[in-house]
Amino acid sequence: MQTLTRTAAIAEQALAWRAQGLRVGFVPTMGFLHRGHTSLMELARPRCDKLVVSIFVNPLQFGVNEDLDRYPRDPEGDAAKCRAAGVDVLFVPDDFYPPDHSTRVRVEGLSEGLCGTSRPVFFEGITTVVARLFGVVQPTVTVFGEKDYQQLAIIRRMVRDLALPIEVLGGPLIRDDDGLALSSRNAYLSPAQRARALSLHRALFAMAAAEERDAAALIALGRSILDVDTFDYLEIRDAVTLAPLETVDRPARALVGCWIGGTRLIDNVAIERPWT
Ligand code: AMP
């Protein structure tokens, strides 16, 4: 595995691969890697000839009071995990944006609501960094996790709208043994906070298991189970379009965002019913 820190170096490598007709797979991350990230690499690996993983804590997607400066890091552990997952190039840029970079990419509609309500700069930061990463890495196929379900929908829309010749795959949400959705930010949780964080998936799974089809009743059920410090949202959306649903009469997704102490947590589950 090669580690590249210069943006021009990975761009040159990617061009050479593409000129040889090779399929390039790409998994963008912010590092502090866990099984959720490596599961995406495992999905990509058989679908490409060369696999690139990026680690870049993107300043554009952090709000002023968010955790950019204390975002957890583990460069050596991350490199070992990437090597074990068969990654060809680990891209850890130290010169990613040109100093006078001024272009922003924004996907309207889908970027509003859910996580976009309390984090207004968030998705524009993500689509801007991912668009530039795509330009540099020129992937044939890219994999994003369903853990960030709204982000996955936004990336699919951006790729379609900009006619980028990239296949976008979604990887299933990976959980810890106790059910907590794996996240780099779980490292911030004290044992007591972590115990309360389990209420997120408990609430979502109770909603998924209930006979009820009325979204408001399902949300009330979920809220009665959530044990968090700051509630952000708990919603049921169409699984494909992310349109809000009043009645669960088609494949849907229950999504939650909230804070425990200073840690922001998100989770989601599929809501499946007999649709007749
Ligand atoms: P991040 O490093 O948090 O920006 O995440 C990088 C990629 O890993 C994104 O596509 C996430 O959706 C995905 N990811 C993070 N956690 C999980 C998880 N628990 N299960 C599946 N994918 C995940």
- What pLDDT is attached to residue 119? 87
pLDDT tens for each residue of 56-71: 999 999 998 899 999 9
- What pLDDT is attached to residue 276? 59
Residue 27: how many CB atoms within 10 A of its CB?
30
- Nearest-CA residue for ligand 1 atom 8 is 37
- Ligand 1 binding pocket mutation candidate from 40, 62, 73, 178 (most atoms within 8 A of CB): 40
Section 78-89 average pLDDT: 98
Q: Is 101 a catalytic residue?
A: no
- 24 - beta bridge partners? 50
Share of the chain above pLDDT 90, in %: 96
The Cα–Cα gap between 56 and 59 comes to 9
Confidence of residue 275 (pLDDT cuts 50, 70, 90): low
Model confidence at 258: pLDDT above 70? yes
- 29 HSE (CA, 13 A, CB side): 33
- What pLDDT is attached to residue 121? 86
Q: For each of the domains in the chain, give its residue range(s) and CATH number, in order of start.
A: 2-171 (3.40.50.620), 184-269 (3.30.1300.10)
Section 121-126 average pLDDT: 95
Answer for the pair 243, 237: CB distance below 8 angstroms, yes or no: yes
- Ligand 1 binding pocket mutation candidate from 37, 43, 81, 201 (most atoms within 8 A of CB): 37
Cα-to-centroid distance, 72 and ligand 1 (Å): 14
Q: Is the CB of 37 under 6 A from ligand 1?
A: yes
Name the pairing type of β-strands 89-91 and 2-4.
parallel
Q: Which of 34, 37, 101, 201 is catalytic?
A: 37
